[in-house]
Amino acid sequence: MTAAVVAALAAVLAAGAGAAEPAADRSHEGQAMDGMQMSAQGMVMNQNTDRLPQDCASISQDVAITVHAGRKYAAKYPGTMYAYDRGAWDVPPCSRVTVTLVNEDRVRHQWMLHGLPRYLYPEGMFHLEVSGPGEGSGTFIVPSAKKTYLVHCDVPQHAEKGMKAELTVAGGDGDLPSIPGVSAAIEPDAYRVRWDAATLIVAGAVGFLGAVFGFRALRR
């Protein structure tokens, strides 16, 4: 973490995102370090509202995304525990994206985006974090290239257990693995297999046809 903080300090970026709700402890409310804005409610790192990527002449349009995060969104994907309400978002090239993360759990969640150009975003990251029930928002500008960006929550095991998604620019350049409702895992779990009659009949029939074909093809 220290490294990430130091990297964040290195970048002098405007910080203007707001903490959503007032919290009991306001001692760090709205305090900003370079590249990072932290409040009792959460943090925004590497926000960028006006610096254009090298390949963009201007901001093409403003896009607002509201992301709901919580355990209840994982219920429809068996074998997960946390999820966002959507697994994928698509935005136009050179758009300015404002993400509002609504945390519906009573623990920390993040919306962390990877793969942005490092000359604008230290470590190529944009990071939004909401430390408990409530919401927070932040803004970044995407380059023009057709690309798929990884989005996840980096609280240990949250991404692995379902809180993972992708943000595509102009349709993206392929899906990332293990996104609930979007893509399969690279190393999926093995489950018990319950055979049903239809599968057995189909397998038996195909096997028999194969045997007949093999016998006929090789018979002299």
Separation between Cα atoms, residue 167 and residue 93, nearest integer Å: 12
Does residue 70 interact with another protein by CB under 8 A? yes
- Which residues is 165 bridged to in the sheet? 151
The structure tokens listed for 145 are: 């290239």
* Closest approach of another protein to the CB of residue 155, in Å: 5
Asked if 114 and 46 touch (Cβ cutoff 8 Å), the reply is no
Does residue 85 interact with another protein by CB under 8 A? no
Which of residues 91, 94, 129, 172 is near another protein by CB under 8 A?
Answer: 129
Nearer to another protein, 198 or 218 (CB): 218
Does residue 4 interact with another protein by CB under 8 A? yes
- Supply the DSSP symbol for 19: B
Listed in order, strand segments (DSSP E) in 31-157 are: 31-33, 36-39, 42-45, 62-70, 83-84, 88-91, 96-103, 109-114, 125-130, 134-141, 147-152
Which of residues 98, 154, 175, 182 is near another protein by CB under 8 A?
Answer: 154
CB half-sphere exposure, 214, CA atoms < 13 A:
6
Q: Which stretch binds another protein (CB under 8 A): 93-101, 135-143, 180-188, 202-210?
A: 180-188
Does residue 177 interact with another protein by CB under 8 A? yes
Does residue 5 interact with another protein by CB under 8 A? yes
* Closest approach of another protein to the CB of residue 17, in Å: 15
Does residue 155 interact with another protein by CB under 8 A? yes
CA torsion through residues 183, 189, 194, 199, sign:
positive
Asked if 39 and 151 touch (Cβ cutoff 8 Å), the reply is no
* Closest approach of another protein to the CB of residue 212, in Å: 13
Query: Which residues are near another protein by CB under 8 A?
Result: 1-5, 7, 9, 23, 25, 27-28, 31, 33, 36, 38-40, 42-43, 45, 70-71, 78-82, 105-108, 112, 114, 123-125, 127, 129, 131-132, 154-158, 160-161, 177-178, 185-191, 215, 218-220
